[in-house]
Structure 1
Amino acid sequence: MRRILIVGGGYAGFYTAWKLEKKLRRGEAEVTLVDPRPYLTYQPFLPEVVAGSVEARHAAVSLRRHLRRTRIVAGMVTAIDHGHRVVTVRPAEGESFELGYDVVVVTAGAVTRKFPVPGIAEQAIGLKHVEEAVAIRDRLLTAFDRAATLPPGPRRQRLLTVTFVGGGFSGVEGFGELLSLATALLARYPELSRDELRFHLVEASGRILPEVTDRPGRWVVRSLERRGARVHLNTRVTSAVGGHVVLSSGEEFDSELIVWTAGNGANPVTGRHTDLPVDQRGLIVVRPDLRVGTEAAPVPDAWAAGDDAAVPDLASPVPGARTVPNAQHAYRQGKLLARNIIATLRGRPTKPYVHHSLGAIATLGLGRGIFQYRRIVVTGLPAWLMHRGYHVLAVPSWERKVRVLAVWLTAALFGRDILSLASVQHPREAFVTGGEPVRAES
């Protein structure tokens, strides 16, 4: 049997394995998937996890539960040597080892792009994984509890100040949902006032949400500012040492919670640790049919898709355009990649990836959203309902769809759960201290 190795269990990798399981004949090939996490993160739900509108586990899809005929290896691929048909895997426990293959599928995804801003590495948290979304929510809830016991002043103001860096979809959706949660929490905290909330969204360019046109983008800025937020365009964070945020505009303030969503960068595995061809951004060069290489020089038995691949966008009128790194493309590329691998195994021609965008849609908080398809723009409650409807249909497996719907219906009846479980990040604290009070860090 041919050995198919999938590097990464995100959208593209999960759907490739899922479709291969359904389409491969018995004994035709064996599939192995390597990923350090035992689940696929459905990233469009992370802003709602931040706001408590979706249970954290429901934004993740178990690999072992749904990939029943795929061998799952819990580890991180640190190098790909296609010349010798092996990858190096670093498991969570034990020594690194080599794993051989006949066909490799690289769907390792992207990583959070970081810049050398003083204090960011020590103070900020990303919004790319379920654990980060849960931590952001718990930190806000804990900050409210702590602020409610303090008199008005600098320390209380710091606890009620939130800063998001990056105005793309992830940043704007997370920012809008957390602002919605914070505003709703005020009803439960009579000690705090709306004027004490400080929400800052910092974007280095002159606009947010680059996937929509200028006019809808400006509407989103106005909508956030009407809700009390500050949107800083053409502005960079120059320092965040000790939680003291300094902006390039000269403004300074203390912020208890700093969330970094300033885009994606190339995965180090594809950017620096492979002999497969990569472009200047560190993305794997692929043909329209997702085979690695170019039309003139294809690389045998190597495929790539998703955020770590420079996939030609045949639907774009711009020559040389590449598909944007989002779930919409990765999901479809994974399914096509599986079909093309099977076609190659059976001596049939492959098909190119062509997908016309279904539009851009974003949630901006409970009951608020924006949708754009070409010149059609929908805002407010209808867009928010469209966002929920689209994503509950898109999340993999009926089991997850039902669970998410159940949480939404429960929240509609009883409201959002505002319980903080920040203590789970230190599960032994109560045992070690024996009930002695521990002062929170400043």
Structure 2
Amino acid sequence: MTNTVPKILIVGGGYAGFYTAWKLEKTLRKGEADVTIVDPLPYMTYQPFLPEVAAGSIEARHAVVALRRHLKRTTVVAAKVTGINHANKVATITPIAGEPYEQEYDQIVVTAGAVSRTFPIPGIADNAIGLKTIEEAVAIRDRLMSNFDKASMLPPGPARDRLLTVVVIGGGFAGIEAFAELRSLASSLVKSYPTITFDDTHYHLIEAMGRIMPEVSLKTSEWVLKDLAKRGAYVHLDTQVTGAVDGNVELSSGEVIPTDLIIWTAGVMANPTVVRGGDLPVEERGRILTRADLRVGSEDEIVEGAWAAGDVSAVPDLSGGGVGGYCVPNAQHAVRQAKLLARNLAGVLRGELPREYFHKNIGAVAGLGLYNGVFQSGNLALKGFIAWLAHRGYHGLAMPSWERKWRVLWGWWNNFWLRRDLVNLSTVQSPRYVFEEYAARPRPPQPVEAAPPAPKAAAKAPAPAADKVAASG
């Protein structure tokens, strides 16, 4: 390449991508490298807040971080990377508007994250919704509140029960937090609907394993189960979903649960568009093979000029606490990997050796609705209100930038005094419906009426014989 300034291309603007670019801006000297980040969305989503967004405890825009506002020295490109030809160090960029083009680079950082991993269960693709994006969290909240509005106008019966039933599939941290937060939201909503009681609402969580929340101890997970049961929630363990056609969730136990809201949280997979569209090495679970120093490659072989971090990568867990020897896909690892990756990348550009990633999990914390939570670190387990404070304290501090921290903290403070905002904005999905309903439109052209036929001229009657005689005389 003719440009002497190294070009760094970051694929994905999520946790790992944003933090890599943010740290590079603080680490690199001015003019030391040219950094570009590519993502179709102009913001990073702080995913631990998605359950609270779905429950109306956090404003949706406060749970995201604007890339252009906080990355002052990084070129932000609104596009997808649909191909990586690392052999020639060229990436195919497909923008949200315009034609695809190729971009050269010297160093590539793949941080494309993960997407919901589903199975070919009939009806799931057509009826379920995930909880990986801010848009999904907002849609879940609006759907739940819209269903309360509809149910309040119906008499007791199957149609009403369907609207007031929520099914969450997956008993990991994401599923349990979403399940508990939405149960908490429903408890708040019934106070505003005189025709709906707490017992009219039905919440079911489906988990294929014999326990929930494998990130915490068995004793702690059992406490969560008992706590959910007290709040009128049903957890189906050792149960699989076999169908969801037309919203009728069929279970391996033979039970059928009709519902209008199915939330899928049963696993994630590395972004397939990026992984399958490139020539970087991939391990058996579909993640980019990554070394402990966050360079792409195996222990014995390095792919020069390629780096990876976050959910899209298979990074060895040197602490020994990972699953299958690799770091689990969570925000805790993604953020720390990104910060080290930025330092390592800057160091390699300066001729230094990279350091290996080592992080021992400091624990797991989950919110279970307002004023309730659970925290586990080693043998230490906190439950209830104190754990809820730990949850909010940890994530409030972990939210990147003070600008975003203050927005979240201010929202929590307002909700403490004013209670959560229960406004339903589901119609924002079709913002022109009122305008279209009343907008004046041109009258359709009227058919041209045919002119009436002209009357035929009357035939001239023959003159009488006497007149003829007179005329001749």
Normalized against structure 2, the TM-score is what? Answer: 0.90
Equivalent of 2:376 in 357, 372, 376? 372
Structure 1 window deviating more from structure 2 (85-94 vs 30-39): it is: 85-94
Which one-letter code corresponds to 1:213 in the other structure?
A: S
Contact 1:270 1:283 in 2 (8 A): no
Which one-letter code corresponds to 1:376 in the other structure?
A: L
Structure 1 window deviating more from structure 2 (416-425 vs 77-86): it is: 77-86
Count of equivalent residues: 436
Determine whether 1:185 maps to 2:192.
Answer: no
Q: Gapped runs of 5+ residues in structure 1? A: 436-442
**Structure possessing the higher radius of gyration over alpha carbons:** 2
Determine whether 1:207 maps to 2:208.
Answer: no
Q: Helix, strand or coil: the match of 1:365?
A: coil
Which one-letter code corresponds to 1:114 in the other structure?
A: T
Contact 1:392 1:405 in 2 (8 A): yes
In the TM superposition, 1:27-106 aligns within 5 A as 27-106=31-110
Deviation at 1:433, TM superposition (A): 2.2
Query: Partners of 1:31 and 1:271 in 2: how far apart?
Result: 21
Structure 1 window deviating more from structure 2 (312-321 vs 77-86): it is: 312-321
Quote the residue 1:330 is aligned against. 334
Deviation at 1:319, TM superposition (A): 10
Query: Partners of 1:204 and 1:17 in 2: how far apart?
Result: 39
Query: Partners of 2:111 and 2:372 in 1: how far apart?
Result: 33
Contact 2:42 2:67 in 1 (8 A): yes
Quote the residue 1:147 is aligned against. 151
Quote the residue 1:129 is aligned against. 133
Which one-letter code corresponds to 1:405 in the other structure?
A: L
In the TM superposition, 1:204-353 aligns within 5 A as 204-316=208-320, 321-353=325-357
Structure 1 runs of 4+ aligned residues shifted over 4 Å read 317-320
Q: CA offsets, 1:53-103, max 9 Å, x none? A: 100000000000000110011011111110011111211112211111000
Which one-letter code corresponds to 1:74 in the other structure?
A: A
Query: Partners of 2:132 and 2:322 in 1: how far apart?
Result: 29
Contact 2:295 2:302 in 1 (8 A): yes
Quote the residue 2:27 is aligned against. 23
Which one-letter code corresponds to 1:157 in the other structure?
A: D
Equivalent of 1:425 in 423, 429, 452? 429
Contact 2:127 2:244 in 1 (8 A): yes
Contact 1:119 1:243 in 2 (8 A): yes
Query: Partners of 1:210 and 1:100 in 2: how far apart?
Result: 43
Equivalent of 2:124 in 112, 120, 127? 120
Contact 1:110 1:267 in 2 (8 A): yes
Determine whether 1:7 maps to 2:11.
Answer: yes
Quote the residue 2:445 is aligned against. none
Deviation at 1:266, TM superposition (A): 2.2
Which one-letter code corresponds to 2:128 in the other structure?
A: A
Q: CA offsets, 1:177-219, max 9 Å, x none? A: 0100001111111111111111010111111111112111111
Which one-letter code corresponds to 2:131 in the other structure?
A: L
Determine whether 1:160 maps to 2:164.
Answer: yes
Q: Helix, strand or coil: the match of 2:120?
A: coil
Distance change >3 Å, CA 320–CA 130, structure 1 → 2: closer
Quote the residue 1:439 is aligned against. none
Deviation at 1:318, TM superposition (A): 7.3
Quote the residue 2:410 is aligned against. 406
Query: Partners of 1:190 and 1:167 in 2: how far apart?
Result: 32
Q: Helix, strand or coil: the match of 2:368?
A: strand
Q: Gapped runs of 5+ residues in structure 2? A: 440-473
Which one-letter code corresponds to 1:78 in the other structure?
A: T
Q: Helix, strand or coil: the match of 1:187?
A: helix
Quote the residue 1:440 is aligned against. none
Q: Helix, strand or coil: the match of 2:319?
A: coil
Query: Partners of 2:258 and 2:231 in 1: how far apart?
Result: 21
Deviation at 1:350, TM superposition (A): 1.0
Quote the residue 1:397 is aligned against. 401
Quote the residue 1:438 is aligned against. none
Q: CA offsets, 1:331-369, max 9 Å, x none? A: 000000000001101111111000111101101111110
Which one-letter code corresponds to 2:418 in the other structure?
A: F
Normalized against structure 1, the TM-score is what? Answer: 0.97
Determine whether 1:386 maps to 2:390.
Answer: yes
Which one-letter code corresponds to 1:407 in the other structure?
A: G
Query: Partners of 2:6 and 2:275 in 1: how far apart?
Result: 27
Quote the residue 1:354 is aligned against. 358
Contact 1:110 1:264 in 2 (8 A): yes
Contact 1:360 1:371 in 2 (8 A): yes
Structure 1 window deviating more from structure 2 (261-270 vs 109-118): it is: 261-270
> What RMSD over aligned residues (CA atoms) do the two structures have, in Å?
1.3
Query: Partners of 1:28 and 1:400 in 2: how far apart?
Result: 29
Query: Partners of 1:294 and 1:55 in 2: how far apart?
Result: 42
Q: Helix, strand or coil: the match of 2:186?
A: helix
Query: Partners of 1:407 and 1:292 in 2: how far apart?
Result: 41
Q: Helix, strand or coil: the match of 1:211?
A: coil
Distance change >3 Å, CA 166–CA 317, structure 1 → 2: closer
Which one-letter code corresponds to 2:339 in the other structure?
A: K
Contact 2:205 2:235 in 1 (8 A): yes
Distance change >3 Å, CA 7–CA 317, structure 1 → 2: closer
Contact 1:164 1:259 in 2 (8 A): yes
Which one-letter code corresponds to 2:278 in the other structure?
A: T
Contact 1:80 1:269 in 2 (8 A): no
Q: CA offsets, 1:107-140, max 9 Å, x none? A: 0011100111111111111101111101101111
